[in-house]
Amino acid sequence: MVEMDGLMNELQGVFPEVILAGIGLLVVLGFWMMVLTVQVRRQKRSIQRLESKLGKGEELKSLLESDQIDGDLVIAHLEGIHTRLSKLKGRMGLVRYNAIGERASDLSFSLAFLDENKDGIVISSLSGSQGVSYNYAKPIQQGISSYRLSKEEHEAIAQALQPTIEMEDGDNASPHPMEVIQK
């Protein structure tokens, strides 16, 4: 009981500082919320202005060429989006095969994930006869790995590099934003 009284006395001595620190933290958080609220309102107004200009069917190209919108800023933003999208590992190739012989089914596989620069990873899983599975992951740079690749891994990479969606003009890669605007 004596220990409990000593602990209570120590806490009562520190209690005002804890309360002041809590109030200070609340003030800082309140100020930060006000700043964020102002920024969100500004962005909402900018979006509403842009929507009102585009909502009437006005073409984006003519709007960018006018003085109403900073076209260079929009183009820089589109180029940034294009750069980030090209780095996504959106190209995939899957090859299933039988790694152990005639009695098993196609439980083994090689799966390649690549981006537009042919960078990514190939993952292989070799299933054995008694439920044992061996898994491997190998990095791919420019379509080549520093590790030895199996025939199936090469096939998975080749599948991932195949064009998936043809655009109207026959190009299978996504166009650069400047090419779209200049057409």
Task: Give residue-wise pLDDT tens across range 116-130.
Answer: 888 889 999 988 777
| For the chain, domain boundaries | 1-55, 58-86, 91-161
Per DSSP, the residues of 28-92 read HHHHHHHHHHHHHHHHHHHHHHHHHHHTT---HHHHHHSSSS-HHHHHHHHHHHHHHHHTS--EE
At a CB cut-off of 8 Å and minimum separation 6, what does 131 contact?
A: none
Q: What is the pLDDT of residues 78-96, one digit of tens each?
A: 787 777 776 666 788 899 9
CA distance 97 to 126: 9
| Residue type at 83 in one-letter notation | T
Q: Which of 127, 121, 126 is nearest to 143 (CA)?
A: 121
Q: Model pTM greater than 0.75?
A: no
